[in-house]
Amino acid sequence: MNTPTAPITQDVLTIPRKDGVAGAARINLVGLTRPELRAALIAAGTPEKQAKMRVGQIWQWIYQKGVRDFEAMTNLAKDYRAMLAEHFEIGVPEVVTRQVSEDGTRKYLVRIAGGHEVEVVYIPEEDRGTLCVSSQVGCTLTCTFCHTGTQMLVRNLTAGEIVGQIMLARDDLGDWVKPGEGMGERPRLVSNVVLMGMGEPLYNFEAVRDAMKIAMDGEGVSLSRRRITLSTSGVVPEIARAGADIGCMLAISFHATTDAVRDKLVPINKRWNIETLLAALKDYPKLSNSERITFEYVMLDGVNDSDEDARQLVRLIAGIPAKINLIPFNEWPGAPYRRSSDARIKAFANIIYKAGYASPVRTPRGEDIMAACGQLKSATERARKSKREIEAEAGLGVVSIGSCETSAE
């Protein structure tokens, strides 16, 4: 029996619950891959010859129509529905709180098995709606500008908990295909997914891969792979694998133009430095002119935002089809940095633009509800670093910053 806080377990089938028929445990179907679901259906008595078709039918009910009750799966025989209800369940993480920002951004605090919590953010824009999902509770990495980085890793999310975040947002937004409606008849509210919430997705590779395969599958959530972006701090050995096995769009948390600065901001750089990272990106198998890699670059006052940084950034990424996404630093209580001024960000963006790159500046969204990039953190996770530890890692001496040491809790 797993203890509720067991770290980093991939219990794809979820912790057994004793609420099924005669104490039998029901298996959660959310997050099972096609082969896993097929095997589970066969084990429950589905004839092998029918299993493939049943997987497709059940997936459509779960991931396109948002059905949670087997009884509603009207294209399946009544007996078969009863069998499914006896062995399986369709479970998504529980929404604990939902906050809506002045700008329409929604932030969900979500509880997963073991009582852990992660945050999920929905960002509506004119032509799209982007859901920012988490892949881990906390993060093992310690980027010094990132709020999540101050929270130690508690565990990896399962594939079901990752794809479940898309499902709970669609519940809240009423974003399911309605009875009698065809796919693609109505614009989708969750049209894009970014793995930019809490955690380093490439350190939870299998669960992220399985969840994104369901998100991209025509009988699953049915999002085009171009509408899914995985952001990594630079886990070099997994980048090629992500290209081959997931094939979604890639974003890199670049943030600095010298190893000395990147070592401090994104400490994984000490393991795989800028040169190694760029070499891996050049080899990213899906690379083509229409598939640019996004370089994310957080603008930190006086740290990485000089004209020379902008010029060096352009030199470094030469030869890689790229766009550069400048992110004004989002402050959080105790953060050891300040956001660059608007004028500085503009000047930096101009140099990049003149070099021929699109250089959109990411508008901070949902700041009033702490939903902006890098502000996510589970309020109840107590394992956190002190301000002093964060500063020590950032290589900073005594810095005077905001005084809300405890307000993150």
- Residues lying near ligand SF4 in the complex (CB under 6 A): 139, 141-143, 146, 148-149, 199-200, 233, 253
Per-residue x/- mask for ligand SAH, residues 292 to 331, rule CB under 6 A?
Answer: ----x-x----------------------------x-xx-
Name the token pair of 180.
């009698």
Judged by CB under 6 A, does residue 55 bind ligand SAH?
Answer: no
Nearer to ligand SF4, 143 or 371 (CB): 143
Task: Tell which one of 89, 119, 161, 200 touches ligand SAH (CB under 6 A).
Answer: 200
3-state secondary structure of 327: strand
Q: Is 117 a catalytic residue?
A: no
- In the 3-class helix/strand/coil scheme, how is 251-307 assigned residue by residue? EEECCCCCHHHHHHHCHHHHCCCHHHHHHHHHCCCCCECCECEEEEEEEECCCCCCH
Please, are residues 359 and 352 in contact by the beta-carbon 8 Å criterion?
yes
CB of 13 to ligand SF4, least distance (A): 27
Nearer to ligand SAH, 58 or 198 (CB): 198
CA distance 359 to 353: 6
Give the CB-side neighbour count of residue 199, counting CA atoms within 13 A: 30
Name the token pair of 326.
């400048």
Residue 244's alpha-carbon distances to 63, 119, 228, 229, in angstroms, are 24, 28, 15, 15
Judged by CB under 6 A, does residue 88 bind ligand SAH?
Answer: no
Q: Is 373 a catalytic residue?
A: yes
CB of 232 to ligand SF4, least distance (A): 8
Please, are residues 377 and 121 in contact by the beta-carbon 8 Å criterion?
no
Q: Going by C-beta distance under 8 Å and a sequence separation of 6 or more, which residues neighbour residue 66? A: 167, 170, 171, 176, 177
Q: Which stretch binds ligand SAH (CB under 6 A): 152-160, 195-203, 219-227, 380-388?
A: 195-203
Query: What residue 161 binds from ligand SAH, ligand SF4, none (CB within 5 to 8 A, per partner kind)?
Result: none
Residues 144-163 that bind ligand SAH (CB under 6 A): 145-147
Nearer to ligand SF4, 148 or 158 (CB): 148
Q: Going by C-beta distance under 8 Å and a sequence separation of 6 or more, which residues neighbour residue 353? A: 359
H or E stretch covering 345: helix 342-354
H or E stretch covering 123: strand 117-124
CB of 132 to ligand SAH, least distance (A): 8
Name the token pair of 46.
């589905």
Closest CA to 253 of 226, 293, 220, 216: 293
CB of 85 to ligand SAH, least distance (A): 38
CB of 75 to ligand SAH, least distance (A): 39
Nearer to ligand SF4, 55 or 153 (CB): 153
Name the token pair of 208.
């992220």
Name the active-site residue from 89, 117, 119, 296. Answer: 119
Name the active-site residue from 139, 146, 248, 373. Answer: 373
Query: What residue 210 binds from ligand SAH, ligand SF4, none (CB within 5 to 8 A, per partner kind)?
Result: none
CB of 149 to ligand SF4, least distance (A): 3
Query: What residue 329 binds from ligand SF4, ligand SAH, none (CB within 5 to 8 A, per partner kind)?
Result: ligand SAH
- What are the residue numbers of the active site? 119, 373
Q: Given the rule CB under 6 A, which residues bind ligand SAH? A: 143, 145-147, 196, 199-200, 231-233, 253, 296, 298, 327, 329-330, 373-374
